[in-house]
């Protein structure tokens, strides 16, 4: 199976560019929906944003299966050369490769951190901590570990999930504070945030150019942490939990967090927003998901996905090089005005070109001349007939330019052919040859 790279570049680039407007519309709808529905818990907001993210990523793939004839009845607003699609695909592959390498590097660091940490026997912990761990392990097997390479507690998930606590936290934090930390990190793993965080990082690396993806990814990171805070607030005191977060933030000061892990504290701006929500008495700390909000965003996103195949493309690419076809045909000669020759006076002709009759009248009878060959006598007559003969029939040549226009989807009607015909007529006029003067001799 041979894959045309140019066609693949055009189809993929058109699919992404023609669906960016729908992606921004889905993100704006999710934002307005959460504003209209008032105060909702962070768990509901997270689900709404994540559904919007999945719908935006699916838009380019749905556009590859159009339900409309790909005929250029209406021109696209933006038409670009086909070579630009190849350049865009190359730049996308280069930049996304670097972004995916960063994600792979984060995964490698997490695997190294997981191997180097030391497991803790749950039986050696306080009874309150044992109860918290046992409740989390009912839905997912999670290990508790300790490490000297971390400054804040971190949840490491995927195939061997674990909560890694720094050694200083076991020595300096009280049982209540350590319990709040474990509640937060275990909530991440019970919600499967390790996998959802990986998915959103991959989407951001691949769709690095999409503004809606960046906006939603930032909202997901904040709402994820706040959703775990709500789990902690349902079982502990808000003020004590806020003081514990401040202590962890001080420990994490001037140190970058781990991108692929769910740490207790991350960015300063995010931590400040979390503290404001924790101390807000009007905030609803319930963990129940609002189904109407989720259904509304799913219906809107599904409608956008269903309309994408029927919407006309905004951006299209043209073929790179037009194909030339030359065809020639002999047609009846058009009416051509004959070339008028100059009239030559008879006396001039007689002076320059003497006919045999004139020579015979001037020569005496006794003059003896050699007989002139017949072909020599007919030379001048033949040449005169050739000069007076009509011009040769012209030959008409047609030059046909055949141009193929490639549109955003492939299919039987995905090509539009344009033919431009030029008719070139070449008229060849045979140049007149000078006549050979008649040979004569003086009588002696």
Q: Output the CA torsion 75→78→80→82 (10° steps).
A: -60
Mean pLDDT of all residues in 9-30:
88
Contacts of 246 (CB under 8 A, 6+ apart): 275
What DSSP element (H or E) covers 397? strand 395-406
Is the pLDDT reported for residue 184 higher than 60? yes
Residues 278, 326 share a domain: no
- Domain end call among 286, 317, 348: 317
Residues 326, 296 share a domain: no
Residue 302 resides in a domain:
yes
Residues 252, 209 share a domain: yes
pLDDT tens, position by position, 330-350: 445 444 444 444 444 444 333
Residue 18 resides in a domain:
yes
User: Containing domain of residue 71, as a range?
Assistant: 5-104+191-317
- At residue 385, the pLDDT reads 59
C-alpha–C-alpha distance, residues 132 and 185, integer Å: 11
- At residue 369, the pLDDT reads 44
What DSSP element (H or E) covers 145? strand 143-147
Mean pLDDT of all residues in 396-402:
57
- Mean pLDDT: which of 247-256, 390-399, 412-421 is highest? 247-256
Laid out side by side, the sheet with 395-406 consists of 323-328, 395-406, 415-426
Q: How many residues does the chain have?
A: 444
- The number of domains in the chain is 2
Residues 429, 291 share a domain: no
Residue 172 resides in a domain:
no
Mean pLDDT of all residues in 254-263:
54
Mean pLDDT of all residues in 225-231:
91
- Domain end call among 292, 317, 342: 317
Q: How far is CA 292 from the centre of its chain?
A: 35
- At residue 48, the pLDDT reads 95
Residue 126 resides in a domain:
no
Residue among 166, 162, 171 nearest 152 (CA): 166
pLDDT tens, position by position, 77-130: 777 787 888 888 889 999 999 999 999 999 999 999 999 999 999 888 899 999
Whether the CA torsion 182, 183, 187, 188 is positive or negative: it is negative
Residues 265, 327 share a domain: no
Cβ–Cβ < 8 Å for 330, 395? yes
Cβ–Cβ < 8 Å for 325, 79? no
Residue 122 resides in a domain:
no
Residue 185 resides in a domain:
no
Residues 327, 220 share a domain: no
C-alpha–C-alpha distance, residues 306 and 323, integer Å: 37
Residues 327, 287 share a domain: no
Residue 364 resides in a domain:
no
- Of all residues in the chain, the percent with pLDDT exceeding 90 is 32
| DSSP secondary structure of 6-22 | HHHHHHHHHHHHTTHHH
C-alpha–C-alpha distance, residues 366 and 444, integer Å: 10
- Domain end call among 317, 349, 367: 317
> What is the rounded average pLDDT for all residues in the chain?
75
Cβ–Cβ < 8 Å for 157, 121? no
Residue 35 resides in a domain:
yes
CB count in 10 Å sphere of residue 15: 20
**Banded pLDDT at 390 (limits 50, 70, 90):** low
Residues 325, 247 share a domain: no
- At residue 197, the pLDDT reads 93
- At residue 421, the pLDDT reads 60
Residues 95, 237 share a domain: yes
Residues 415, 301 share a domain: no
Cβ–Cβ < 8 Å for 167, 146? yes
- At residue 285, the pLDDT reads 60
C-alpha–C-alpha distance, residues 170 and 128, integer Å: 14
CB count in 10 Å sphere of residue 72: 14
Residues 214, 289 share a domain: yes
C-alpha–C-alpha distance, residues 367 and 338, integer Å: 44
Residues 326, 251 share a domain: no
């Amino acid at each position: 199976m041979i894959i045309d790279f140019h066609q693949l570049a055009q189809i993929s680039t058109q699919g992404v560019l023609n669906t960016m407007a729908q992606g921004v519309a889905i993100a704006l709808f999710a934002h307005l929906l959460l504003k209209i529905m008032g105060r909702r818990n962070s768990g509901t907001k997270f689900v709404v944003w994540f559904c919007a993210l999945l719908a935006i990523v699916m838009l380019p793939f749905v556009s590859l299966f159009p339900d409309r004839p790909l005929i250029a009845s209406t021109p696209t607003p933006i038409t670009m050369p086909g070579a630009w699609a190849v350049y865009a695909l190359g730049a996308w592959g280069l930049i996304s490769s670097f972004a995916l390498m960063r994600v792979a590097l984060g995964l490698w660091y997490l695997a190294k951190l997981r191997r180097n940490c030391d497991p803790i026997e749950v039986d050696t912990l306080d009874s309150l901590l044992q109860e918290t761990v046992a409740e989390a392990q009912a839905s997912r097997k999670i290990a508790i570990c300790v490490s000297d390479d971390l400054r804040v507690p971190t949840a490491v998930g995927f195939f061997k999930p674990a909560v890694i606590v720094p050694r200083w936290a076991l020595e300096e934090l009280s049982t209540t504070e350590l319990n709040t930390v474990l509640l937060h990190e275990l909530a991440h793993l019970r919600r499967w945030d390790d996998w959802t965080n990986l998915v959103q990082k991959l989407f951001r690396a691949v769709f690095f150019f999409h503004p809606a993806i960046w906006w939603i990814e930032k909202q997901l990171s904040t709402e994820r942490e706040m959703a775990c805070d709500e789990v902690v607030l349902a079982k502990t005191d808000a003020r004590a939990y806020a003081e514990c977060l401040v202590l962890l933030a001080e420990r994490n000061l001037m140190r970058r967090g781990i991108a692929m892990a769910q740490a207790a504290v991350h960015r300063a701006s995010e931590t400040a927003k979390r503290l404001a929500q924790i101390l807000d008495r009007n905030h609803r700390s319930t963990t129940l998901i609002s189904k109407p909000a989720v259904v509304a965003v799913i219906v809107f996103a599904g409608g956008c996905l269903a309309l994408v195949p029927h919407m006309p493309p905004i951006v299209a690419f043209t073929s790179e090089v037009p194909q030339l076809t030359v065809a020639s045909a002999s047609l009846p000669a058009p009416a051509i005005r004959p070339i008028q020759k100059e009239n030559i006076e008879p006396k001039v002709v007689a002076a320059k070109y003497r006919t045999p009759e004139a020579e015979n009248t001037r020569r005496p009878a006794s003059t003896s001349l050699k007989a002139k060959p017949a072909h020599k006598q007919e030379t001048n007559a033949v040449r005169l007939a050739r000069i007076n003969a009509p011009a040769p029939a012209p030959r008409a040549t047609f030059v046909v330019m055949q141009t193929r226009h490639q549109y955003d989807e492939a299919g039987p009607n995905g090509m539009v052919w344009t033919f431009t015909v030029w008719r070139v007529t070449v008229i060849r006029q045979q140049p007149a040859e000078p006549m050979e003067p008649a040979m004569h001799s003086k009588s002696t």
